[in-house]
């Protein structure tokens, strides 16, 4: 699905907390890496604004009874700068509301934190903050 109209991207407080924790755990002693990560995050948000169905994004099964009819859960994959291994494999889980043309950022994490994905209760917790 592509559209010339931009989507609205909204961040939950939980998403913001997960980004802060990701920075703290990954870039505490690396200010240059932190700056690169923040630039990357900004470009990801722009990409989602233009097309939430972009090439690094894939459908994600949603927790039971979480989504409404016009909603879809997706996962965006990216590599964190200046890191190696599982800690460098970043993920963002977000919800799309097709009717509103809105993207709801739920949480950011690394493959090291959650090999598959965060537990459903954490995804619901992030979603409940909207």
pLDDT tens, position by position, 54-67: 999 999 999 999 99
Q: Where are the domains of the chain?
A: 8-127
pLDDT for 4 equals 55
CA 128 to chain centre: 16
Task: Give the architecture (CATH level 2) of 8-127.
Answer: 2-Layer Sandwich (3.30)
List % helix, strand, coil for the chain (3-state, nearest 5).
35, 25, 40
**pTM for this entry:** 0.91
């Amino acid at each position: 699905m592509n559209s010339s109209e931009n989507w609205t991207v909204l961040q939950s407080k939980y998403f913001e907390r997960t980004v802060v924790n990701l920075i703290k755990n990954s870039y505490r002693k690396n200010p240059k890496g932190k700056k690169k990560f923040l630039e990357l995050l900004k470009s990801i948000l722009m990409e989602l604004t233009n097309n939430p169905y972009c090439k690094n994004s894939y459908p994600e099964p949603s927790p039971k009874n979480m989504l409404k009819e016009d909603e879809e859960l997706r996962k965006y994959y990216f590599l964190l700068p200046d890191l190696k291994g599982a800690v460098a494999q970043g993920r963002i889980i977000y919800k799309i509301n097709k009717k509103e043309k809105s993207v709801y950022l739920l949480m950011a994490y690394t493959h090291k934190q959650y090999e598959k994905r965060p537990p459903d209760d954490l995804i619901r917790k992030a979603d409940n903050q909207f």
